[in-house]
Structure 1
Amino acid sequence: MRRSLSAEWLKLKNSKIILVIAILPILSLIIGSANFYMNQEVLEGGWHSLWSQVGLFYGEFFLPILIAICCAYICRLEHTNQNWNLVMSAPVSIGSVYVAKFVIVSMLILFAQLVFVGLYWIAGIILSLQGSLPIEIIAWTLRGWFASLSIIAFQLGLSLRFRSFATPIGISLCAVFFGLLMYVSHIGVLFPFSLLTIGLSVLSQDSLAGMQNILFWGMTSLFILLFSMLSIRQLKTKDIVSS
């Protein structure tokens, strides 16, 4: 596992992926903050209202796309020059290859979450919001990151399956809109992209109570395990090299 993780980190050395991870949260903050600023007479919730605006663009659109980009990028090298031959013949297990990619993308998204919260705090200061940063932001950020793990598992499966860099990203974009439909239909716990909306509390800042909380953590864990098992099985049974 350590060798697999080291190999994945080496791929990111001198890459531009960190720049992409920084740019997308910045864009979501700029758009959301501008929308908040122009509608302050309606959005009177201060920090919470700002979160609903910046989080709407970030959690609903930019973060899922960012996850898709990271997953496609982390699999890009293997899909070129038949490098899957080298991966499959390396003295590491197939499970280690998948888990290493999953862990690296998870860490990249956690970094994006921290960048987003930092920018959110700066935006609140610039907009002269009253009071201090809400303590709930910590829970929403970590819960959103955990929900993103299910999307990472889903997108990694797609990126391992398709050699095209754009195809998994296009599927992610379609899933974003389907997830929003699932959320407004009150069955968001049944779809990973809707779970991200619930986890980040971008459309509703109400606390998850009782069964809602159990369903959120349970379904997210189930999706992570399900998609991970399917991806590992795909690596073991499908001839990806010659596809």
Structure 2
Amino acid sequence: MVHVAHQSKIIVTNTLPKRMQNFITALKAEHIKKKGTGIFLLSMILGAISPLIWALIAIFNDEPQKRDALPYDFFLNVIERLLDIFAGFFFPLLIIITVSRITQLDHKNGGWQLMETQPIDKMSIYFSKFTMILAANMIAILSLVAFSFIGGGLASLFIELPDAAQFTFDAGAIGSLILRLFLASILLSAFQYLISVIIPSFIWSIVIGFFGLLSNLFLIAFKVVPAWYPFEILLKISKFKKGSEMGYWITYSDSLWHPRALYWVQVVQAQKL
């Protein structure tokens, strides 16, 4: 019995490094394949659009500022004001385009069929593609934060700021928003990943994703948005900017999304087995 247990332990320890090595190899291959697609550049642009638009509007529409407001972090306030448009439109739009573009590379080149002949296990290949999607998401979020500082700094040179505005860096609050936006993007990315793998057409996968995005806007107007709706999950970040009412960074609903995302990625793998 001791000998059997010792053998199984050796098998486990030898399998894990090999699987990790397969994942790294697949990730490097995905990085090479995405060159020339402009995916990461698009992420940076869509993350920067809303801060730059806000800065232009703030400069040319200088409104009188309240003098009796409580002290607040000026840059954090800019980021929070941009969450509605970013989490409600630009970010989900980016996810739809990015996921469809990455999966289309394999639909176009027959990569899904050639996967059967690859020496690397399928789980490593699927999760390497999904990792590239999540990397694009993080670039967009960091771009939003960076250009909020740039846009806010430029706007402060031309507009009159209230006395309560403070030029500080609230690392905790900003880090919380970055983390929550990234975690919320996982579910929508997995959902769109499933659609884009099943449907080989690049156009139709985008159309379906865009229809889901527009449907969310209509559901919001009629106030009948289901709590589980993937697009609504991103908007919850803008509704609960400070996190949980109990003082936690991550809300209770945030913690329930990730098992669903993992399930959908596994469904994607099952579809191509």
Q: TM-score scaled to structure 1, two decimals?
A: 0.83
Identify the match of residue 128 of structure 2 among 100, 105, 111: 100
2:256 is equivalent to residue 219 of structure 1: yes
Is the counterpart of residue 152 in structure 1 residue 192 in structure 2? no
Q: How does 1:1-243 map to 2 (within 5 A)?
A: 1-36=23-58, 38=61, 40-41=63-64, 46-47=74-75, 49-128=77-156, 130-131=165-166, 132-135=168-171, 136-180=173-217, 181=219, 185=223, 189-199=227-237, 201=238, 203-210=239-246, 213-236=250-273
Q: One-letter code of the match for 1:20?
A: L
1: CA distance, partners of 2:251 / 2:82: 27
Separation of aligned partners in 1, 2:56 and 2:84? 13
8 Å CA contact retained: 2:92, 2:213: yes
- Asked if structure 1 preserves the Cα contact closer than 8 Å seen for 2:244 and 2:252, the reply is no
| Residues 211 and 50 of structure 1, relative CA distance in 2, 3 Å threshold | closer
Which secondary structure state, in structure 2, belongs to the residue aligned with residue 15 of structure 1? coil
Q: May I ask how many residue pairs the two structures share in their alignment?
A: 234
Change (3 A) 1:50 1:222: same
CA distance, structure 2, for counterparts of residue 49 and residue 82 of structure 1: 47
Shift of 1:185: 4.0
Shift of 1:47: 4.0
Question: Could you tell me how far apart the structure 1 residues matched to 2:228 and 2:220 are?
Answer: 8
CA distance change for structure 1 residues 148 and 42 in 2, over 3 Å: closer, same or farther? farther
Decide whether aligned partners of structure 1 residues 196 and 92 sit closer, same or farther in structure 2, where only a CA change above 3 A counts. Answer: same
Is the 1:157–1:227 Cα contact (8 Å) retained in structure 2?
Answer: yes
1:20, distance to aligned residue in structure 2 (A):
1.4
Please tell me the residue identity of whatever aligns with 1:25. Answer: G
Q: Any idea what the Cα deviations from partners look like across 1:167-189, whole Å, max 9, x if unmatched?
A: 22222222224445369848664
1:41, 1:173 → 2: CA distance?
A: 38
Secondary structure of the 1:148 match is helix
Partner SS, residue 127 of structure 1 = helix
**CA displacement 1:202-225 (0-9 Å, x = unmatched):** x45343124995532322212212
Alignment RMSD (CA, Å): 2.8
Q: List alignment gaps of at least 5 residues for structure 2.
A: 1-22
Distance (whole Å) between structure 1 residues aligned to residue 65 and residue 223 of structure 2: 25
Q: Where does the alignment leave 5 or more consecutive residues of structure 1 unmatched?
A: 237-243
Counterpart of 2:201, as a letter, is: S
Pairwise CA distance, 1:99: 0.7
CA contact (8 A) 1:72 1:168 kept: yes
Q: Which has the larger radius of gyration?
A: 2
> Does the Cα contact within 8 Å between 1:9 and 1:104 map onto a contact in 2?
yes
Contact 1:29 1:54 in 2 (8 A): yes
| In 2: Cα distance, 1:24 partner to 1:149 partner | 18
- SS of aligned partner of 2:260: helix
Following TM superposition, by how much is the alpha carbon of 1:166 offset from its aligned partner in structure 2, in angstroms? 2.2
**TM-score, structure 2 as length reference:** 0.74
Q: Please give the per-residue CA displacement for 1:149-179, whole angstroms capped at 9, x wherever unaligned.
A: 1111111111111222122222222222444
- The one-letter amino acid of 1:219's match is L
